[in-house]
Chains A and B, each alone.
Chain A
Amino acid sequence: MRFYYTLTAVLCIFSLAAPAKDSPLLATPPSDEQDLLFSELPSVFSASRYEQPITKAPASVDIISSEQIKRYGWRTMSALLGSLSGFISTYDRAYHHNGVRGFAPPGDYNTRILVLIDGHRVNENLQDYAGLGQDFLVDMDNIERVEVVRGPASSLYGSSALFAVVNVITQRGRDLQGVRVSGFGGSYGTGQGQFSHGKKFANGLETFLSASYYHSDGRRNLSFPGLGTAQNQDEENVERLQGKLAWQDFTLSGSYMGRKKYLPTGTTGTTFGEADTNYHDQRAYADLNYHHNFTGDWDVTGRIFWDGYEFNDDLPYRLSPTQRIVNKDLWQGQWFGGEALLSHTFFDSHRVTLGSEYRRNFQQKMANHDQAPYFLYADNSQTSNVFGFYIQDEWAILPNLSLQAGGRYDRYDNFGGTFNPRLGLVYEPLGGTTLKLLYGTAFRAPNAFEGVYTCCEGSTPWIGNSNLQPERIESYEVVWEQRLTQHFDLRISPYYNRLTDLIGLTIADSGIRQFQNQGNAEAYGVETQLKGRYENFEGRLSHTYQQSRVGGYEQAPNAPQQMVKLNVSAPLWQDKLFAGLEVQHVSSRATTIGNRVANYSVTNLTLLSRRWLPGLELSGGLYNLFDESYADPASPPLSPDVISQDGRNFRVRVSYEF
């Protein structure tokens, strides 16, 4: 706490000491604006579903550009998000998990963050899982921009938008305009090759196609206290295919990702150390989007889509040293749907947005069996429908005062309807000062796994719970954004979140496992971020203080009280060589069973070199530079309580565009 008070005091003094600069009306913009343009685009789409300046958006927003991804060498979306205030990234050697604002229960497959790719929902229809590690649908090279909007957003997006909306905007043909061949290699026998082609043709047609293959041997030896050492069981293979076709007002996009991850930790029911224990996820989608601004400022967006997800695994276990049985899951989900959105400004001051969405889950299958001898434990199938309708009004009461009010009604087959409002008052009392008062609710609908999955009668029985109600969050937040000088911005966001009807797994005395609405949680905290940029230098320093309580736990698991994050990028040689430094300090956290993992500080250093030869880009990253030994709380159903993380490792990346 003392650190927090000190930091906040320093920043506040800095803010008061820095006089608000006059902004005389210049005949032309100052030339150093170009650096701003190359470093960040200060507008956001995802906060209100139309483009608006960040200062007008009813949320605390961060924008990450493709340039920053290169300069800081983030290898996954999870690492990118983990660099932001309020976010924490953990890895259990099966999946990457991201928690936000003091709520990061191990085992959560990012179900309380809504992840979008070009506005298309990524969270799947069986467990709401959104892969953010190597299982993300888009290669990091193909990302143009990431919009991170904190706070509840079910009033616009429906389920899963509890803590944040992450919208990943991918590259278009014009962003490449040729061929890119890239690849990287690094520690633990890791390597990737990628081929991309993008083109905007003279007739206006735009195409983008990218394919990649990733392989990592993983850590050779991984020790887990009380279990033993897993040898050569950390392998990971990923293939991705992504495409986009744009013609006038239409954009057809799609992506496929297949990932096989071997599990050094084992999981429920497996025998530790058995070779070939693995998870295999496949995810794909196709999306046809139409957008047009009609005469009279009628902005119309329409979207139809298809999505698919398949999960299978090999979970070997031994009944005896000589009897090895492989248990297998086969989960398949498919859904299609459509979305329509209409936006118009009435009376010059009311920007009204109307929208509706329909999703038909025409396949939700979850089966489990032993391979030999064959024994069927579970075979659950269902179909379901989701319908949502929303309305939002941004009322410009005064030139420097606006009120955003909206709400969305969602109807689900299983639990019925839910309505979630959002209110945001945005006030700019002075040039460079913005105050936002925000209130909203959001929900996460019980997913098919929680509501339907019934399995394993006679061994470890699971029984679906069709009476589950959605989890809800009620959120209060104040955002103070202050331009300190031409080069520095400060943001302070205190918040309070109250969650009710949290869905959690219960194990009865009889051994029956069932998901139930079993508890509440609350979290409050303050996020403070100082951002700076000057010519080719840029950076941000953030501090997060958070306190959370989760029902059923003495200490909220995986919820550090303090996080300090620093990202600084600087040119070392003209505009040809850049260094990107990242430092993250995370205070100690509780594990699921109430132990604690120690605090840690990790430093990553990336060097980016370009413009020595046309189209050639080289980068090298040293991760965990000082070889800090640290661990993350493990996720049920994985066996260990804590999982050690990688020590010092490296990656070298080459990219050539022509």
Chain B
Amino acid sequence: MPSYPAYWHSSVLNWRTRLCLVGVSLLICASAAATDILILQSHDSPPYQQTLAGFQSGLANSNLNPVYQALALTHSSETEALSQLLHDYRPKLILTLGTQATRAALAHVKNTPIVAGLVLDTDELRSNANATGVGLTFSASLQWQWLRRLLPEARQIAVLYEPQQGLARFEALQKQAQAEGVSLIAAPAANAEDLPELMKKLPSQLDALWAVDSAVAFNPAAVRELLLYSFRNRVPLIGLSAQWVKAGALYALDWDYGDLGIQSADLAKDILLKGVLPTALPPLTPRKVRPVLNLKTAEHMKLKISGQWLSDISELIQ
């Protein structure tokens, strides 16, 4: 980790400014043998910080001598800054964190290898020869395994997904469900406004509502709508992150962000040290899972969670 000047923590400077200052200072300090890595971030919230820290620690023990330059890409107008930066500064690799940063990089960079992190949709990476990365979506079998552990009696489950990008995920889960005689009800929602009507159509005897892969569901108003439905009808909601669980969802498979960064670093090492082409490195799924369970919600929903799985839960909300 680079050491930052004291004013880094000052509230006077916003985080974008800080990132640019760090980038410039690192650039100045870089030695001739350094490996230049450009970091593009969509956000600066703790998950992004933890992932970046994991990435940097993953490369710290390598023979690389990484020098980082960071740029925030939260708005489309900032892609101009990216173009300028790429013109002046020629990194060996670009690490993108978040969907917006990844899309901007894919649009502007054709030759430099890209390692993407914190992205839901890894299909976009597959269609670019210079890109690979680590997605956020857990494997269908892992998601199904945890559902059966925590809700073994659920027979009718509505699955909320984004109609186009999430369809494959829904179908993968449906295969698992059919094998065990569980009925999955498709609940595709293209945008947050669809949710009220969608929920009106859900069967009254539903056993669970499962948000698996939906950009819609990341809208906080939509999450609130889902939680209200869940509580009013005593239908447990399976969320997408620990924050959902803290807000009232029954459980979620959260990520070990540091390990996501280390996974990204492994890909970067393959590219930079072994010379593997990104196209030969298919995008990865997260290898570590942090199940988060809300026992208060379980009590409200009158659910009995088997004690044998509690030791595997990373975080219990009580």
Contact = CB atoms under 8 A, between A and B. Distances in A.
Contact of A202 (B153, B197, B224, B294): B153
B302 A37 contact: no
B200 A293 contact: yes
A28 B223 contact: yes
Given A202-B155, A204-B203, A206-B205, 17 more contacts: A25-B219, A26-B220, A27-B45, A28-B241, A28-B243, A28-B247, A34-B297, A37-B247, A174-B234, A175-B234, A177-B303, A178-B302, A204-B156, A246-B204, A291-B204, A297-B197, A575-B296
B118 to A, nearest CB: 12
A37 B231 contact: yes
Contact of B200 (A172, A200, A246, A299): A299
Contacts of B228: 37, 41-43
B15 interface: no
Interface string A24-37: 01111111011001
Contacts, number: 84
Interface string B28-62: 00000000000000000100000000000000000
A598 to B, nearest CB: 43
Interface string B204-239: 110100000000001110011001100110100000
A202 B152 CA distance: 10
A29 B197 contact: no
A291 B201 CA distance: 11
A72 B132 CA distance: 59
B283 interface: no
B296 A34 contact: yes
B166 interface: no
Interface residues of A, number: 35
A291 B233 CA distance: 15
B205 A200 contact: yes
A6 interface: no
Most chain B CB within 10 A, of A42, A202, A291, is at A202
B244 interface: yes
Contact of B201 (A30, A41, A293): A293
B300 A29 contact: no
B153 A34 contact: no
A29 B223 contact: yes
B247 A33 contact: yes
Nearest to B205: A204
A640 to B, nearest CB: 46
B16 interface: no
A38 interface: yes
A42 to B, nearest CB: 8
A202 B294 CA distance: 23
Nearest to A42: B228
B248 interface: yes
Given A37-B231, A297-B197, A249 B204 contact: yes
Interface of B: 45, 153, 155-156, 197, 200-201, 203-205, 207, 218-220, 223-224, 227-228, 231-232, 234, 241, 243-244, 246-248, 294, 296-297, 300, 302-303
B224 A29 contact: yes
26 contacts: A25-B219, A29-B244, A31-B243, A31-B246, A33-B224, A34-B247, A34-B248, A34-B296, A37-B227, A38-B300, A41-B231, A41-B232, A42-B228, A174-B302, A175-B302, A176-B302, A204-B203, A204-B205, A246-B204, A247-B205, A248-B203, A248-B205, A249-B204, A293-B201, A297-B200, A575-B296
Contacts of B223: 28-29
Contacts of A42: 228
A33 B248 contact: yes
A320 interface: no
Contacts of A299: 200
A43 B243 CA distance: 23
Contacts of B219: 25
A203 interface: yes
Contacts of A203: 155
Interface in A1-47: 25-31, 33-34, 37-38, 41-43
A427 B219 CA distance: 25
B155 A34 contact: no
A291 B228 CA distance: 20
Contacts of B207: 200
Nearest to B197: A297
A184 B302 CA distance: 23
When A and B form their complex, which 6 residue pairs have the shortest distance between CB atoms, in order from nearest?
A31-B246, A28-B243, A177-B302, A204-B205, A29-B247, A34-B248
Contacts of A177: 302-303
A38 B230 CA distance: 11
Nearest to A30: B247
B248 A37 contact: yes
A613 to B, nearest CB: 13
Contacts of A200: 205, 207
A574 to B, nearest CB: 10
Contacts of B218: 27-28
Contacts of A293: 200-201
B155 A25 contact: no
Nearest to A249: B204
A204 B234 contact: no
A31 B223 CA distance: 12
